[in-house]
Structure 1
Amino acid sequence: MNLRFISPTFHGIIDYTAAVALIVVPFMLGLGDSSILALWLSVTTGLIVILVSTNTIYKYGIFQTLSFNAHLAIDLMAATTFAIAPFALGFEGIDMYYYIANAVVVFLVVALSDNCEPVINQ
């Protein structure tokens, strides 16, 4: 049984949705009470997700210079950063919960993504 059911195409949809969420949701939640870094780390990460996604070789990539496996490695680094940030940067309350939740979600998306190199439909 293959548990990797998130195709590169669906992963692309998740990426762009997550990028918008990482940019908008921190303002909606009022992040930054324990540290202003809690707000800006998310916004910066959202912008980086857009940059990585537009450069990934998958259906929704524009420049297609980055392999999907490299993309997944970057996602894994982001999840690890999200997991460590609350403790390393002293986030508390909603700031901490936001990053722990994001870390769990990104780890799951990476774990469930099919890392076969996609064939691009031109």
Structure 2
Amino acid sequence: MKFRFISPTVHGIIDYSAAVALISSPFLLGLGESSPMAKWLSVVTGVAVIIVSLNTTYKFSILHTIPYNGHLLIDLMAATTFAAAPFLFHFTGIDMYYYIANAVVVFLVVALSDNCEPSLTD
């Protein structure tokens, strides 16, 4: 089995699903108890995921301006931000757990994503 088994097409589906989750989860989970930043960082990141995804060179994009490998780099920066946020913004409780869990998931998705530049029909 290939170690990097998440194709660019599947990665795109994950991206749009994650965006919806990042925008809605703070309200469903009641984030923001330790800091309002815990709620709004997720929402803003979700909107950014949609913008980046619409611009990435993969199947579910419109503009195809961001190379797929550049997209993976942006994902790594988001995961790093999620991992650092609880410490930078003093998140506690569910706010902290939410961002640590998201960081782990994004790091895993990037690590398991095939990093070859896709054709736009893949």
Task: Judge same fold: TM > 0.5, yes or no.
Answer: yes
* Counterpart AA for 2:36: I
Tell me how far apart the structure 1 counterparts of residues 107 and 113 of structure 2 sit (CA, whole Å).
Answer: 10
RMSD: 1.0
Q: How far does the alpha carbon of each residue in 1:80-108 deviate from its partner, in whole angstroms, 9 at most, with x for none?
A: 00000001100000000000000000000
SS in 2 for 1:102: helix
- Map 1:74-113 onto structure 2 (within 5 A): 74-113=74-113
SS in 2 for 1:79: helix
CA drift at 1:120: 1.2
Tell me how far apart the structure 1 counterparts of residues 83 and 73 of structure 2 sit (CA, whole Å).
Answer: 15
Unmatched runs of 5 consecutive residues or more in structure 2 = none
- Name the structure 2 match of 1:54: 54
CA drift at 1:2: 2.4
* Counterpart AA for 1:31: L
SS in 1 for 2:63: coil
SS in 2 for 1:64: coil
Tell me how far apart the structure 2 counterparts of residues 121 and 77 of structure 1 sit (CA, whole Å).
Answer: 27
SS in 2 for 1:4: coil
Tell me how far apart the structure 2 counterparts of residues 14 and 31 of structure 1 sit (CA, whole Å).
Answer: 22
Identity %: 71
Unmatched runs of 5 consecutive residues or more in structure 1 = none
Q: What is the aligned residue count?
A: 122
- Name the structure 2 match of 1:4: 4
